[in-house]
């Protein structure tokens, strides 16, 4: 049930919000698009000129850009499947009846990692993963493992980001899948449990179909967030050592803010935005099919 109203009323209710998002969202995007066709370096302002698609050609043939894209994709491929396996296991345990108090506590502690300021998550990694003073290496020592140089070695630094991403976002996946599990009609689940003793069969044939929307949501949102990922690697490694943890958003920040090459950063941003829009379209098609 909806009401028809006059244009004036509509404008009064929606106008301010639309205007605000046009000003802070669309205007900068158009500005970025315009600048992406220019040579525009903050340290060489006199040389500013229109260069057409030159920046795009440079970005698309730039190995540094593709390596950053590749690293971003690799991070996604390495961490998200683990997040889904761990998250699903945690969700299944929390979904079972009994031990209510423990489960409430576990659910509350799951909220902590994903609500933590992302910059602090990176700083925490610095402190805990330090080769000499870090508590993680101390614990590994108890297990007989030699101290690992997590932050200083390129391969280890990348792995450290993967592990830290898994720590922060597994709880999110767990809570999303837990919400998905609660959409399974209890009578169907109970009937299935009477039929078979195998939890695997129940999961595969009864719960999984109801989990598909949650899993798609996790995949799309984690992809979007991985593309955006900046705070944690920035505070943890600044993209280093070398460029071992320079993900796409970290690269754009370096080009724009530390090399002052705004035209190039703009072209990189626009390419990234195009990717993002494709993703957002997918997300919306999956979840909001029906016209509201």
Residues 163-182 that bind another protein (CB under 8 A): 167, 171-172, 175-176, 179-180
Stretch that binds another protein, among 53-61, 109-117, 155-163, 193-201 (CB under 8 A): 109-117
Q: Considering only residues 57, 66, 205, 287, which one is a binding residue for another protein as defined by CB under 8 A?
A: 287
Q: What is the DSSP letter of 41?
A: B
What is the C-alpha radius of gyration for the chain, rounded to an integer number of angstroms? 24
Of 80, 244, 40, nearest to 160 by C-alpha is 244
Q: Considering only residues 50, 53, 66, 138, which one is a binding residue for another protein as defined by CB under 8 A?
A: 138
Give the Cα separation of 161 and 7 in Å (integer). Answer: 51
Q: Considering only residues 69, 103, 196, 244, which one is a binding residue for another protein as defined by CB under 8 A?
A: 103
227 in contact with another protein (CB under 8 A): yes
The minimum distance between CB 206 and another protein, in angstroms, equals 18
212 in contact with another protein (CB under 8 A): no
14 in contact with another protein (CB under 8 A): yes
- How many chain residues are in contact with another protein, going by CB under 8 A? 100
Task: Name which of residues 249 to 268 contact another protein (CB under 8 A).
Answer: 249, 252-253, 256-257, 262, 265-266
The minimum distance between CB 97 and another protein, in angstroms, equals 11
**In whole angstroms, what separates CA 276 from the centre of its chain?**
12
Give the Cα separation of 160 and 172 in Å (integer). Answer: 19
Of the pair 98, 242, the CB lying nearest another protein is at 98
Q: Considering only residues 98, 144, 186, 242, which one is a binding residue for another protein as defined by CB under 8 A?
A: 98
Task: Name which of residues 30 to 49 contact another protein (CB under 8 A).
Answer: 31-32, 35
Helices 118-129, 154-181: axis angle to 10 degrees equals 130
128 in contact with another protein (CB under 8 A): yes
Residues 6+ apart with CB under 8 A from 85: none
Give the Cα separation of 82 and 162 in Å (integer). Answer: 10
User: Contact 268/59 with Cβ under 8 angstroms?
Assistant: yes
140 in contact with another protein (CB under 8 A): no
User: Contact 211/176 with Cβ under 8 angstroms?
Assistant: no
Helices 135-142, 118-129: axis angle to 10 degrees equals 50
199 in contact with another protein (CB under 8 A): no
Of the pair 159, 273, the CB lying nearest another protein is at 273
Q: Considering only residues 51, 95, 228, 241, which one is a binding residue for another protein as defined by CB under 8 A?
A: 228
Task: Name which of residues 49 to 78 contact another protein (CB under 8 A).
Answer: none
The minimum distance between CB 35 and another protein, in angstroms, equals 7
The b/e string for 56-68 (b: 16+ C-beta within 10 A; e otherwise) is bebbeebeebeeb
What number of CA atoms fall less than 13 Å from residue 13's CA on the CB side? 5
Of the pair 59, 265, the CB lying nearest another protein is at 265
221 in contact with another protein (CB under 8 A): yes
């Amino acid at each position: 049930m909806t009401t028809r109203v006059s244009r004036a009323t509509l404008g009064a209710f929606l106008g301010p919000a639309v205007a605000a998002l046009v000003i802070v969202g669309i205007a900068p995007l158009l500005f970025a698009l315009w600048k992406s066709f220019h040579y525009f370096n903050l340290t060489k302002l006199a040389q500013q000129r229109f260069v057409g698609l030159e920046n795009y050609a440079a970005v698309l043939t730039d190995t540094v850009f593709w390596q950053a894209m590749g690293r971003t994709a690799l991070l996604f491929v390495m961490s998200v499947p683990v997040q889904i396996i761990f998250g699903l296991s945690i969700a299944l345990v929390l979904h079972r009846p009994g031990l209510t108090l423990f489960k409430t506590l576990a659910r509350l502690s799951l909220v902590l990692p994903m609500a933590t300021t992302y910059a602090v998550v990176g700083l925490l990694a610095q402190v805990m993963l330090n080769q000499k003073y870090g508590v993680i290496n101390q614990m590994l020592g108890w297990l007989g493992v030699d101290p690992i140089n997590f932050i200083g070695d390129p391969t280890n630094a990348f792995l450290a980001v993967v592990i830290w991403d898994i720590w922060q976002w597994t709880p999110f996946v767990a809570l999303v899948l837990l919400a998905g599990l609660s959409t399974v009609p209890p009578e169907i689940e109970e009937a299935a449990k009477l039929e078979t003793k195998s939890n695997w069969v129940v999961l595969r044939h009864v719960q999984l179909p109801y989990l598909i929307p949650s899993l798609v949501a996790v995949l799309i949102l984690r992809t979007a967030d991985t593309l955006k990922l900046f705070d944690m690697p920035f505070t943890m490694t600044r993209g280093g050592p070398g460029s071992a943890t320079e993900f796409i958003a970290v690269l754009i920040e370096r080009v724009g803010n530390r090399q002052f090459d705004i035209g190039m950063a703009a072209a990189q941003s626009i390419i990234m935005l195009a990717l993002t829009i494709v993703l957002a379209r997918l997300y919306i098609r999956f979840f909001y099919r029906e016209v509201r």
